[in-house]
Amino acid sequence: MKLSIILPVYNVDQYIEKCIRSIECQDLPTNEYEIIAVNDGSLDNSVQIIEKLQNEFSNIQLINKNNGGLSSARNYGLRFAKGKYIWFIDSDDYIETNILQHLLDKIKNDNLDLLVFNIFDIWKDKEQQGFSTNQQPTHIISGEEYIKSYYIGISAWCFIVRKNILTSNNITFTEGIIHEDFEFTLRLYEHIKRMTFTPIRVYNYVHRNGSITTTKTHEQILKSIHSWQTIISQETNYFHAHPSSYARYAQKWIDTHKFNAICAVFFNHLTIDEKKTEFYRLKDMGAFKIKETRIQNIKLKFICNILKHRNLYYILMHFFRTTK
């Protein structure tokens, strides 16, 4: 088996069929790749749609589990994967037609551990290329060189990776949080010896109402903040325990994650007491110790240079305070 595609499924009955059909509409024989659909406790008709597609396609495996979130579903699906390579795809997105053979041929010919490819962001009325080709390597490099010199692919669906890299290094997704890809990929690239980028359009990321990334309920805002705090803490502890040149380069990305956490507290609608609580948590974990980030946007860089000063941040937090 060449490739295992792991597909977490939770209440996506409006999207799942388009996703699976895009994966099946390929130039690779179905006996050379598998789709592992992990039903994470869906309450809609997602399972019934997958079962219908199983009658049509022989390479779909449906696995049911209690709801545990995206990370839990991905980790669970990885246990059943038989492929030499792994690709995590979100079940509300879709991929381009007839690209699997090309991707796997490139991986084989270049003996790659990991291949990053181009993505497109899809909105209702427009689409936009995700990666600028000048931000990505055109030759074979290591994961360390990648995080040092390039704007890295963060999301787990923007690359195919050799399975034994994950299993032999015990690389899994942190469960119970969101933004899990940031921490996962930063640990993963440390173990990549050979990787590159292909500029062809492969993955279509669909922006939809009601998804984790677009939902802004009070509960979701706090979960986002606490997830960033968990990620920063885990990354800091991990790279402190594993000092290396890679750890030094990773610090730019950790500082970027710190800035994301700071902004999540400052700009979201929370009571002043909630902002104070989260401010002190960030302060205690050293989140305001930002030397350099991989932020390229000039406006965001300016905001970062202001907000990373914790005393000024605290004053501004009161002056620009927002409430629920």
- How far CA 155 is from CA of 30, 79, 152, 257, in Å, comes to 26, 20, 9, 14
Q: How far apart are CA 192 and CA 200, in angstroms?
A: 22
Retrieve residue 268's tokens. 């979201």
Q: Long-range pairs for 211-220 at CB < 8 Å and ≥24 separation?
A: 211/92, 212/70, 212/178, 216/268, 218/269, 218/270, 218/324
Instruction: State the average pLDDT over residues 138-152.
Output: 95
Domain locations in the chain? Answer: 3-206, 218-319
Return the higher-pLDDT residue of 152 and 102.
102
Retrieve residue 62's tokens. 């449906």
Listed residue (172, 168, 155) closest to 118, CA to CA? 155
| Residue 206 bridge partners (DSSP) | 122
Q: Which residues contact 122 (CB under 8 A, 6 or more apart)?
A: 204, 205, 206, 207
Retrieve residue 85's tokens. 């390579």
281-290 residue pLDDT tens: 999 999 999 9
Check pLDDT > 60 for residue 214.
no
CATH of range 3-206; options 3.90.550.10, 3.90.1170.50, 3.40.50.10240, 3.30.365.10:
3.90.550.10
pLDDT at 323: 46
Residue 106 near residue 202, CB atoms below 8 Å? no
pLDDT at 312: 86
Residue 164 near residue 137, CB atoms below 8 Å? no
pLDDT at 225: 96
| Residue 34 bridge partners (DSSP) | 4
Instruction: Return the minimum-mean-pLDDT range out of 36-40, 146-150, 154-158, 316-320.
Output: 316-320
pLDDT at 320: 64
Check pLDDT > 70 for residue 211.
no
Classify residue 121 by its DSSP letter. Answer: E
Helices (H), ranges, 199-297: 218-241, 245-267, 272-284
Instruction: Return the minimum-mean-pLDDT range out of 46-50, 79-83, 298-302.
Output: 298-302
93-125 residue pLDDT tens: 999 999 999 999 999 999 999 999 999 999 988
